[in-house]
Amino acid sequence: MGLTIRLDNRVSLDQVARAALDRRPVDLDDRSWHRVAESRSLLDEFVADGRIIYGVTTGVGGFADRFVPAADAQRLQENLIRAVATNVGAYLDEDTTRAIMITRIVSLSLGNSAIRPENLRIYIAMLNADVVPCIPEKGSLGTSGDLGPLAYIAMVSIGQWKARYRGEILDGGEALRRAGITPARLGYKEGLAMINGTAGMVGIALLTYRSARRLVELYHVISALAIEGLAGIVDPFDPRVHAVKPHRGQARAAARIHRGLRDSGLARSERDIEAILAARRDGAAGNTATGARMAIEDAYSIRCTPQILGPVLDSLDWIETTVENELNSTSDNPIVLPDVGEAFHNGHFHGQYIAMAMDHLGIALTTVTNLANRRVDRFLDQSNSNGLPPFLCREDPGLRLGLMGGQFMTASVTAETRTLTVPVSIQSLTSTADFQDIVSFGFVAARRAKEILRNAAYVIAFELLCACQAVDIRGADGLSSWTRPLYERVRAIVPYLDRDITITDHLEALAEFLLSEEAGDFAGLPSDDEEYRDDRIAEHV
């Protein structure tokens, strides 16, 4: 089933993602096509009246003070898209490029950019025929829109540059010919309409956000599994505890983990530990060396999980709203508004919203990475694991290293990830003879958030491997009904390790699973308990 973009409906991130990932066809409803035509007709009137409009009857960028006759429109627009196509580096993958194309189509469909309907139809035809332009990933300022990245799509639409088509990289004109698409001929403003916007950064951002959201939702289950593996205490997650601190994300994280561990035989209660400690105190005559080390409360990486995941969840909510707002925006300059009969010069192309949202996403994911890294250390350190063998090596310790080596990777990747959280959205550099004098680097921020997401998946994958190893050592029969399906899915990827092997392939497979659509199937609560519904949580906080 395809995606029909309707002028009166907000397009969701999931709709764009599904259309991009599943190769679903896209079209506009009749009202959208009518609005697109109205915008173009109004611009035609302005040109006929001799109006001076940026990028229509003037040059662009640092040449905005130069007049250009309407008769030279095609040359100006083609020169524009060729001149700004200066990106370098590897090409974006096809899924990301399709998401970018759909995002630009959504923006143009609002009918405020004065593109001719026939050229917008060519964009849609390219997408639906799977003609995927090759977009080098580095070089966008993310301010006068993603000029460079979007220019490669525009060039393919006129039969230039390069595109992937049915497994081959072809000349853009040849790709269009094989797909049966006639190249576009650009009139005034149309090249500018194609490239002047935030679609590049939004396309990357929406796919990255969706994967990050799934990973964080699943991380609640992973946290519960880690608590079981470390024989952690459940009481700090009781919803009544969190009702006194009114952060919705924190309350939601605590409630989910508390509900998920309700039938666990491995997680412990405070009362049980209190009884054991009291008996030890009374029976050992002050000898604190008897029995395994045990404390009345857990370390922060267990006990403070809701306080750490809570702000991550709240940040994700803001990020989702921001990216979806930008997706449904006209991010063009100038805009031609049929309903008010006027054209306006503006700065809607500026990507600061997405730049800051992606910086926040990077911080949120790095926060989860820090938490996972600390739990890995507790699993492997015999003095902090509540009775687990050192390095989770039960068989032949000393002869074997167990999971010791895996911490090398997690420490390295965690440190690297922390360096990637320096904000991109404040790194403005001036360009274009001080015309573009404050820039967002939103495209860079979105690419970097995607890299941080992959790093987070590697560290979490190793924490998950450790948790399952620990659970097997303690006795997997005690798992809760919430964590058991995830444990079994992990065991289908990597077995219990009673011998030393190279675990790289297992970690790659686990990371792929964590970032897959399938991972979302394991994140839901085992029942729709009234007490733990999100709306009930909101009422409490």
For the annotated catalytic residues, the residue numbers are 54
Alpha helix locations (H) across 158-303? 172-179, 190-195, 199-229, 239-242, 248-260, 270-283, 300-303
CB distance 379 to 392 below 8 Å: yes
Using alpha carbons, select from 233, 230, 224, 228 the residue that is nearest to residue 271: 233
DSSP 143: B
**Residues near 533 by beta carbon (within 8 Å), at least 6 away in sequence:** none
**Residues near 161 by beta carbon (within 8 Å), at least 6 away in sequence:** 85, 133, 134, 152, 155, 171, 172
Long-range CB contact pairs, 22-28, < 8 A, 24+: 23/98, 23/130, 25/127, 25/128, 26/2, 26/102, 26/105, 26/124, 26/127, 26/128, 27/2, 27/3, 27/124, 28/4, 28/105, 28/109, 28/120, 28/124
With residues binned 3-state (H G I as helix, E B as strand, rest as coil), the percentages for the chain, rounded to 5, are: 55, 5, 35
CB distance 94 to 132 below 8 Å: yes
Sign of CA dihedral 343, 347, 353, 355: positive
Q: How far apart are CA 478 and CA 476, in angstroms?
A: 5
DSSP characters over 403-459: TTTHHHHHHHHHHHHHHTTS-STT----BTTTTB-S---HHHHHHHHHHHHHHHHHH
**Residues near 136 by beta carbon (within 8 Å), at least 6 away in sequence:** 87, 88, 89, 90, 91, 92, 148, 152
Q: How far apart are CA 541 and CA 536, in angstroms?
A: 9
Using alpha carbons, select from 59, 40, 31, 28 the residue that is nearest to residue 193: 40
Instruction: Name residue 212's amino acid.
Output: A
What is the token pair recorded at 330? Answer: 């006209």
Judged by DSSP in three states, 283 sits in: helix
What is the token pair recorded at 153? Answer: 């799509």
Judged by DSSP in three states, 132 sits in: strand
Using alpha carbons, select from 424, 417, 491 the residue that is nearest to residue 454: 417
DSSP H/E element including 506: helix 504-514
DSSP H/E element including 137: strand 136-138
